[in-house]
Every structure is written in structure tokens, then in C-alpha cells.
Chain A
Amino acid sequence: MANQTGRASAAQDRLSQVGDHITATGSQIPKGRAALLEKGPDDIVVTCALRTPICKGGKGLLKDTAAADLLVSAFTSLLQRSNIDPALVEDIAVGTVLAPGGGATEFRAAALAAGFPVTAAVKSLNRQCSSGLQACVDIANEIRAGVIDIGIGAGVESMSTQYGPQAVTEFSELLESHKEAANCKVPMGVLSEAMAKSKSIPRSAQDAFAASSFQKAVEAQKQGLFDQEIAPLTVKWTDPKTDEEKTITVSKDDGIRAGITAESLAKIRPAFAKDGSIHAGNASQISDGAAVVLLMTRATALKLGQPILGKFVQASVVGVPPLLMGVGPAAAIPVVLAKTGLDKGEVDIYEINEAFASQCLYCINELGLDQKKINPKGGAIAFGHPLGCTGARQVSTLLYELKRRGEQVGMTSMCIGTGMGMAAVWVAE
């Protein structure tokens, strides 16, 4: 008997010795779609992804709710839905752009208020419009590196309460004297206008793209395709007509408008230049919202019995000229495709943030992507772009849609103010 146990362990030794010959290490990560679809215990998986409804900035149903309160609500819903023991969550990263002081203090407080014990660490981070994605990637990397086992990537923005000129510090003379550095300050609308002109994207094409975003979102909302990802919340809201404070439950995005066509958009006056092409109807809406993504390794998820929505595969981030901020996705997507060995045709759905119809359209054309695969449930033009929230919001939008269609490989990407692009590959399971 003793002899037999000895044999079994010898066989185990041999197996691991020979296994080491073919297991990939470091730079030798297997590539290609087939490799991505393989499931391993070390995969970083998403076991819960949800968001609050996204509401119009300034006049929507969340206009009186502070960013931290949105986050508390998203955290509470996450704890309820995932049923995870809050004591197991070791780190939370929250992407946000406009919060003064980066939001570090109130987000830590929000985590505590939502029921996380003091042992759950919290950080806030700001990579402009990709903050939410960056938060998810940071947490995934922490898990991959063994810093933590379970974490939450989140994003939040209350543009109603925090949007405005105070969000950017005055540039020093030194920065102003450097041409490319000074370009970082050019307002998004102005530079997108210039870019639309220089890349010759006509207004008609932009309006058509924007109208289709609205139409897709209306249809998706009608079919209830957002219901799975949205966690309703109850907030206090002051009716602007009567100044009466009411307690309401918000469960739907309120920026989605029916009946928008390219023709109706064609009537709107351009916002940034008289002869311009960009206007309120073909740019992203100013909005409020929060989104959260629960991440852990597959081994942990299986141990805890957490349902697996999908996995995070790889991300890329690249810089582009500040004045061509909008080309970010066109620069970042090929990098992450190369890293993962995917062909652009092998991605089933692309969630590319619609900061402006012009830049989104440019990226799609530049990369030669199939229009049908882009933002199938509409995008930021239709339901809004709460800056820090968007990157985390795309994860739930993408994974639930992939799952519904029975597809697998998805990409989230966005352009980033001051000239950057970020992209990430996800696999739904």
C-alpha cells in the first residue's frame, strides 16, 4: 500500500514536470480566440456586474443625488444580488473624474455605508472617460498579481452636481508655453469639431449614426434588455416645477428619447461653431450614474459558488495627440487585438463609447469594423456618458448582451480626454 501511494506521488511529480514544458509562462500567454475561450482556474472572472439607471444631468431623476450616494446604492445592490460576504472583498477601485479631491474620502465612506466592513480598502482613480474601465483593470491586475483575492471595479459620476469649470486646475505658464501640453486644455467639443472637419466626417453621417443609437436604445429599453444590468434605486428628488421634494424609485434610463431620426437631428443648431457639425443630438449626454463589477479568480468563484458572467482577458492603453483625442479607440483596439491574438472579425460585440458621433464613426471606419457589431443596445448618445461610470457600465451592458445572443467575445473601448484610448477584451460565459 505504501508502495502504491509512493507511485501515485511519483506520477504526480512526472506529470507536473512534463506539464511545465507546455504551460505558458510570462510572455508566452496562448493567443487566439480558441485560447481565450479556454477556462482556467486563474482566469479573472466577473461574477456580478450592474449599474444604476443613467439619468440626464441637471434635469434627470438623479440630479439631486450625490455621487457617493449613487455608489452606496450600487454597492448595496451588488451585495444583494451577488450574495457575497462583504468581508471577503479586499479592495475597491472607483473611477471618477469630476469629484474634488478625487473623491477618495467620500468613496471610502460610501463603501462603509453600503455595508462593507472597515477591512475593505477603497481607492479612487481618474483616467478621465476610461476611469471605470481602469478601475476594473486595476482590480483584475491586483488579483492576477496576488495582491488580493476578491475586488470590485467601479465607476461613478454625478455630472449634475460636479460638472463645471472647477474640475480643471488653471494651467501654469510653463504648461501654457508648451504647445502640445497646452492642447490638453482645449474643450472636448471644440477639438471634436476640428477633428470631424479634418477627418471629413459629414454631419449627415454623424446624425444618422446618432439617430441609430437612439433607435437601438429605444428598442432595447422596450424589450427590457437593460433590466438585467440596472439596479433600481430610491432617491429624494426635487420637482423643478413645484420645488416639492419627493421620494422616487428610479429604474430606467431617462435620457433615451423615442422618435429621433437623422432628419429630426438635422434641424439642431451646431453647438461649437456656426458651420460646425456637432450638436447636442450627436454628442454624448451629460448624465449621472454608477456601475460596479465584482471580480475574482475562477477558482475563488467556484469555491464560493458565485455565478460566472464572464471573464476579463486583457486591456490596452495608448496615447494619441491631445487634439485628436477621439481617435483613441482606433489606436487602442488594434493593440489589444494584437496582445490577445484576436482578429477584429472574431470579436462578437464592440462597446465603443459614443463621446461624439464623429469620433466613434471615425474609429469604426478607420478599423473597418462591422456596424452591426457596434453598441447593439445604443450608446452614450442615447442614454448618457457619466464620465467615470462609463467604463464600468460597458462591462454589464456587454456581458448581458453577449449572453443573451449566445455570443462570447466582446470588447469595450473609449476615447479619453487629453488624448488617449483604452480597450479591453472580455469573454461571456
Chain B
Amino acid sequence: MLEFRTQGYNGYSVKYSPFFDSRIAVASSANFGLVGNGRLYILVLTANGIAAEKWFDTQDSLFDIAWSESHENQILTASGDGSIKLFDISLNQFPIQSWTEHAREVFSVHWNLVAKDTFLSSSWDGTIKIWNPTRAESLVTLPTHSCTYSAQFSPHNPSLLSAVSSDSHLRVFDLRTPASASNHLTLSIPTHTPPKARMGVAPPVGIPPSEALTHDWNKYRDSVVATAGVDRCIRTFDIRAPGAGPVAVLPGHEYAVRKVSWSPHLSDILLSASYDMTCRVWTDGSAMGVGQQGGQGQGQQDPMVFGNGRELGRMGRHTEFATGVDWCLFGAEGWCASVGWDERVLVWDVRAIMGP
């Protein structure tokens, strides 16, 4: 396990570069992101551990980052003052572009993986905005009317995007639909819907709505999305069957889940980071051969468990809230990076914490 200290700054998000296997960006904020400056770290993995290649200080806290998919030196930041900034890491100090349309904290930014000339942002002001880096104004504004913690383009389709927000809903927008009164909104799934009752099993209990904080599109199955949030459960949904409730429910985290991320290498594996200071690796039970093991000892299982998913291992080295995780796209599958409020960036191999 490699470690880097973001002295004086509490980590909020970490992202591997899509171009270089040794480059990691970290969004961090002074004073736990409540008030004060932010700092964007560009870290490089060397033979002697992690080194800071460069950093950029910002006026307000940074909550998220997204590497440009079209330019290896460009990176976006989501800031507490409502601004989105584009930095070129070959330059010093200042961003090359800044957009200030959001009225409140921007909590996520995400670059379109297919149509690489667009990116999006989501904010506590209850909107998602879609942008082109060469334009000064946003292209589209999609309202959610609710504090939107996380928004993403589908990795499979340039026109499809999704968001989760504090109203406990997963929304899917399709930009190909006419911009009518629904504002491209095609689906709105309450994430707290209990799984459908099965024959011979007591019907699942109702679950109160709770803030959804994070979500991620599966990289292999184009209709599967994982969500998680304040109610401590990770859920997967198939957007082809929005009314069917979750496909899998994975309880286990002891506090709210701040980040989920599907593996870029294995279709059933995902990572999570939580306020309970752990990062955990899970299977959603969709891979062949995984189900059998999960089926045993069903009696003692948490009644919330649904589907064949289970926890495969956990990393408990963070000493404060774990806020971000990201998988390395390159090399041996399993390398990932995590950040937390303990001012530390950890780079580690998921395979080392997985059970037999």
C-alpha cells in the first residue's frame, strides 16, 4: 500500500488519469470542506512512492474532479463556490477556463466518455448542466429540484445521463428525447423501493427515503447502475425494468456510503467508500459461480440483503471518513486509489483485501 499526505487538506475525490497509469488527481479542501481553500493535487506514482507533481490552490473547497477524455493534461474541478474550472497541468497556478452558472456547491463533474467534447456538472442548487469546454455558457440545464450529489454520462451512450439526489431518486435523462416539459427526463426510480416480494418469502419491509449520495454505471452491462447513500446500502438497478425495484441490495456499511465505483475489468465487482472509514469491495452476484456461496447461511444474513451479492473484503486503513475511490484502468486489474478526511491518499491492490 502506498500513501501520500495531503497535509492540511481533507480529501474529497480521487481520479486516475485515463491516459497515464501513474498519474492521479485528488480534489481536497481545507477545514473538511466547510469553509476555506481547496487544492487540486496532481500526484505521480514513482518507484519511490507517491510524489506531488503539482498542485493548484483554489478560492473555495473542491469536491470533485474529472480528467478530460480528449486532452491528457486537462482536468475539471467542482468547487464549493458554484464554479467549475478547467486546469491545464502543464501550466502553473491558474485555470484556463472557469464557468460560474451554478448557484450553489458543485458536487460532481463527469466527462462524457463517448462524445468527448461534452462534460456535465451537478450541484446542490438542484440542477445538472451540460457543457462544451470551448463554450462560455452551458449547453443544457436539467432540473432535479433536489440537491444533486452525483451525475454521470452513460459510458455506453453519449446521450444518456443519470443523477442521484437527496430526494432518494435515481433519474435518467435521454438527450435524444425532445426537450419538452419533462426536460429530457425519461426515468425516475425511487432508490428506496424495496425489492419485489418473492414467492414463499416474507415481503420486504418498507424503507424510508434517504439521500442518495453516489452512483455509477456498470462498465460492461449498459443498463445496470449502482446507487448508494445515507441509508448505508448499495443497490443495483436495471434501467430496462425501472419498476422492478433493485436487482441487488448490499447492506454492510455502518454509515452513509459516499462513493461507489464499478470495476473497469470485472462486470460484477464494485468498490465503495463510506463515512464508516472503510472502503469495501463487493460482488453484485451477477457473475457465474458467485451465487452459491452467498446462498449459504441465509438464516443469519441481514434481512436487507437481496440478490446473491456479498462483501468480498474491506480496507480499513483510513482513520477518518473515506470519501473517494477510483480504479486504475491499466495494468493488473485490482489497483485502486482512495482518499479520506484523514488527509491521506492510499493506493492499494483490491486483491490483497479480498477473502479466499
Contact = CB atoms under 8 A, between A and B. Distances in A.
Interface string A6-30: 0110110011011011100111100
Contacts of A21: 211, 213, 229-230, 255-256, 258, 275
A18 B211 contact: no
A20 B61 CA distance: 19
A14 B230 contact: no
A413 B291 CA distance: 44
B256 A22 contact: yes
B268 interface: no
A25 B208 contact: yes
B210 A14 contact: no
Contact of A27 (B61, B105, B208, B255): B208
Residues of A contacting B: mostly: helix
B34 A20 contact: no
A14 B208 contact: no
A28 B147 CA distance: 22
A33 to B, nearest CB: 16
Nearest to B229: A21
A28 B124 CA distance: 25
B342 interface: no
A186 B105 CA distance: 68
B195 interface: no
Contacts of A11: 34-35
B126 interface: no
Contacts of A20: 211, 230
Interface residues on B, range: 20 to 34
B144 to A, nearest CB: 15
Given A15-B34, A17-B124, A18-B33, A26 B208 contact: yes
Interface string B47-84: 00000000000000100000000000000000010000
Contacts of B230: 20-22, 25
Contacts of A18: 32-34
B231 interface: yes
B310 to A, nearest CB: 22
Interface in A1-53: 7-8, 10-11, 14-15, 17-18, 20-22, 25-28
A30 B128 CA distance: 34
Contact of B231 (A8, A15, A28): A28
Given A11-B34, A14-B80, A17-B124, A22 B208 contact: no
Nearest to B35: A11
Contacts of A26: 208
Kindly name the residue among B230, B232, B275 whose own CB sees the greatest number of chain A CB atoms within 10 A.
B230
Contacts of B211: 20-21
A155 B354 CA distance: 57
Nearest to B205: A27
A14 B275 CA distance: 16
Interface string B221-253: 000000001111000000000000000000000
Given A20-B211, A22-B255, A10 B124 contact: no
Contacts of B256: 21-22
B273 to A, nearest CB: 13
A1 to B, nearest CB: 16
Interface in B174-216: 208, 210-211, 213
A18 B230 CA distance: 10
Contact of A10 (B35, B208, B258, B275): B35
Contact of B34 (A14, A22, A25, A27): A14
A22 B275 contact: yes
A20 B146 CA distance: 15
Given A21-B275, A25-B210, A27-B208, A14 B255 contact: no
A22 B256 CA distance: 6
A14 B105 contact: yes
Contacts of A7: 35
Interface in B1-51: 32-35
Contacts of A22: 230, 255-256, 275
Interface in B271-289: 275
Contacts of B61: 14
Contacts of B213: 21
Listed residue (B35, B61, B80, B147) with the most chain A CB atoms within 10 angstroms of its CB: B35
A354 B221 CA distance: 63
Contacts of B231: 28
A91 to B, nearest CB: 28
A26 B208 CA distance: 8
Interface string A381-400: 00000000000000000000
B131 to A, nearest CB: 24
Contacts of B124: 17
Nearest to A20: B211
A86 B232 CA distance: 44
Nearest to A12: B34
Nearest to B257: A21
Most buried by B among A14, A18, A20: A14
Interface string B84-123: 0000000000000000000001000000000000000000
Contacts of A28: 231-232
A15, A21, A22 interface centre (most CB from chain B within 10 Å): A21
A17 B147 CA distance: 10
**5 nearest interchain CB pairs?**
A11-B35, A21-B256, A11-B34, A22-B275, A14-B34
Interface of B: 32-35, 61, 80, 105, 124, 147, 208, 210-211, 213, 229-232, 255-256, 258, 275
Given A20-B211, A26-B208, 17 more contacts: A7-B35, A10-B80, A14-B34, A14-B105, A15-B34, A17-B124, A17-B147, A18-B32, A18-B33, A21-B211, A21-B255, A21-B258, A21-B275, A22-B256, A22-B275, A25-B208, A25-B230
9 contacts: A7-B35, A8-B35, A11-B34, A14-B34, A14-B80, A18-B33, A21-B229, A21-B255, A21-B275
